[in-house]
Structure 1
Amino acid sequence: MRVLSIVFGTIVGLALGLTGGGGSIFAVPLLIYGLGVAPRQAIGLSLVAVALTAASGVVQAARRGVIEWRAGVIFALAGMVAAPVGVWMGDRVSETATLLAFAVLMLGVATRMLVRAARSPQDARVVRARVAERAGDDAATVCRYATDGRLRLNAPCSAALAGVGLLVGVGSGFFGVGGGFLIVPALVWITEMGIHRAVATSLFVIVLIGLSGVVSTLAAGRVFDPIIAAGFILGGLLGMTLGRYGAERLAGQQLQRVFAIAMVVIAIFMLAKPLITA
């Protein structure tokens, strides 16, 4: 079980690191169907693993100076407030309903990944595991809604960031995912920052929102098997590291399609399982 938890954690770390958003969604089904973790515990453990794995990417991105701290803090603070709400909601919804909703979410993320790979092949090579050499040339944060083109804490831009942050926070707490599939496009659209900076900043946001969800999960009495948790987290860090060295050769349209197809297969299995076991 310990070895398998490391293997599955590595898969999640690779998926998180080799995508610009959506990779962490593999964590929950792998924990439930691969390691036999109960759904609510799996959601909490997923938040722990994803937050710590993302933190390893934040260190590299911060050193390169490509994290947009102001936009990230606004986004993350709203998400941190909302994540406990998602955890609370998850405790009041049946596990079957939660898993069915998760499967639908996976189909949505897979669809977005396929569309992005087809329409923006250059963006498909922008990943979290490794900061591209040209990332520093990206446009910095401005505000689509501010008349002076600057991001201000009291600007409509900040309100827009906070609004999406609340949505991501609830989703992270409820589903146990990082929410990068929403964070990255929201950052690009609202603040007009470049895609490299948006992907790097999303890691910072995921860490803070994930930690808020973890605290709420523990406060709700959800406990994790320490052996599975340690192995899964170790594997996630290992996967992120491997992704850092293999990103240049692996990242791109084809890998995005592989991840998306895998999501579709898992989602179909999750939707069909209640019918098969009924």
Structure 2
Amino acid sequence: MEILGYLAAILIGLVMGLIGGGGSILSVPIFVYIFGFDPITATTLSLFVVGTTSLVGTTGFMRQKLIDFRTAFIFGVPSILGVLFSRRLIIPHLPDYIINRWGITMTKDMFLLLLFAILMLISSFKMIRKTERPFGRKENGNNYTILLSQGLLVGIITGLIGAGGGFLIVPALVMLIGLPMKRAVATSLFIISMNSLLGFASSLKMITADWGFLAIFTSLSVIGIFIGIGISKKIDGRKLKPIFGYIVWVMGLFIIIKEIFFKQ
């Protein structure tokens, strides 16, 4: 099982390199169900893997001058505030039992995993849906206001469940301000790296990090993102999104069924 988990680390990076996000949504289930970490530790480790992999992936895009730093700043500042809000205020103050009455018991760990599974289902539908609204660049106040609010939302999600939020960032950059797909992917990875690494740094007091394990897992994910970036030069990542969307959909359903019906 652990070998399968390490192979999945490569897949995480591969998908991130191809479509600018999405692969990170696999990391938490891998850490919980294959390596046996609790959800708080899993989301924190996920932030490190996602952040480091994204940061390394952006180096190639920087050389190609594909990152829109102005947009990354507009989206990234409220996103960082969202991450800090989740990791400093929400996570530490969640009660051990979210619901414990009327014969219904929902622990903090179960709540986080179900929240993550719901996000996986939403993400999968966005990936499976083939139609995308074509927008040109529209630099007006309304679009940038929406971009700021979406940045805050992505930050809160990133802080809560350890997913980078690329499936939200890329469509926002394409549809709201008209970034070309490759620039949106590059800019998304840069934003994800900032959010995730900050979220990890703000959560170190909550866990005991296994740096040896993190180094191996992250290195494999970094290998994957270079493979993904290389493939993306030959294959449009959007063509592969529906396939990956179905994988995410199945995993989301698996988490919901396991946590609700087979929780020991």
Pick the TM interval, shorter chain: 0.7 to 0.9
Supply the RMSD in Å over aligned alpha carbons. Answer: 2.4
Q: Is the 8 A contact 1:6 1:234 kept in 2?
A: no
Paired AA for residue 100 in structure 1: L
Q: Is the 8 A contact 2:11 2:23 kept in 1?
A: no
Residue matched to 1:264: 249
Residue matched to 2:101: none
Query: 1:109 aligned to 2:105?
Result: no
Deviation above 4 Å: which 4+ runs of structure 1?
1-5, 248-254
Residue matched to 1:150: none
Aligned-pair CA distance for 1:89: 1.8
Looking at structure 1, the residues matched to 58 and 153 of structure 2 have their Cα atoms a distance apart, in angstroms, of: 22
Residues 68 and 248 of structure 1, relative CA distance in 2, 3 Å threshold: closer
Aligned-pair CA distance for 1:18: 2.0
TM-score of the aligned structures, taking structure 1 as reference length: 0.81
Output aligned runs, 1:115-134, within 5 Å: 115=129, 118-120=130-132
Looking at structure 1, the residues matched to 201 and 56 of structure 2 have their Cα atoms a distance apart, in angstroms, of: 20
Residues 247 and 197 of structure 1, relative CA distance in 2, 3 Å threshold: closer
Output aligned runs, 1:218-257, within 5 Å: 218-219=204-205, 221-248=206-233, 251-252=236-237, 255-257=240-242
Residue matched to 1:144: 140
Q: Is the 8 A contact 1:45 1:229 kept in 2?
A: yes
Residues 56 and 215 of structure 1, relative CA distance in 2, 3 Å threshold: same
Residues 40 and 163 of structure 1, relative CA distance in 2, 3 Å threshold: same
Output aligned runs, 1:78-117, within 5 Å: 78-87=78-87, 88-91=89-92, 92=94, 94-115=108-129
Residue matched to 1:126: none
Cα shift readout 1:142-162 (whole Å, capped 9, x = no counterpart): 5133xxxxxxxxxx5544332
Aligned residues: 248
Query: 1:189 aligned to 2:139?
Result: no
Cα shift readout 1:54-81 (whole Å, capped 9, x = no counterpart): 1122111111111111110121111112
Residue matched to 2:16: 16
What are structure 2's unaligned runs of at least 5 residues? 96-107
Identity of aligned residues (%): 32
What are structure 1's unaligned runs of at least 5 residues? 124-138, 146-155
Residues 214 and 7 of structure 1, relative CA distance in 2, 3 Å threshold: same
Residues 205 and 253 of structure 1, relative CA distance in 2, 3 Å threshold: closer
Cα shift readout 1:196-237 (whole Å, capped 9, x = no counterpart): 211111111111111221111114x22222232112101110
Looking at structure 1, the residues matched to 46 and 155 of structure 2 have their Cα atoms a distance apart, in angstroms, of: 14
Residue matched to 1:175: 161
Aligned-pair CA distance for 1:5: 5.0
Aligned-pair CA distance for 1:257: 2.5
Looking at structure 2, the residues matched to 249 and 192 of structure 1 have their Cα atoms a distance apart, in angstroms, of: 23
Paired AA for residue 165 in structure 2: G
Paired AA for residue 19 in structure 1: I
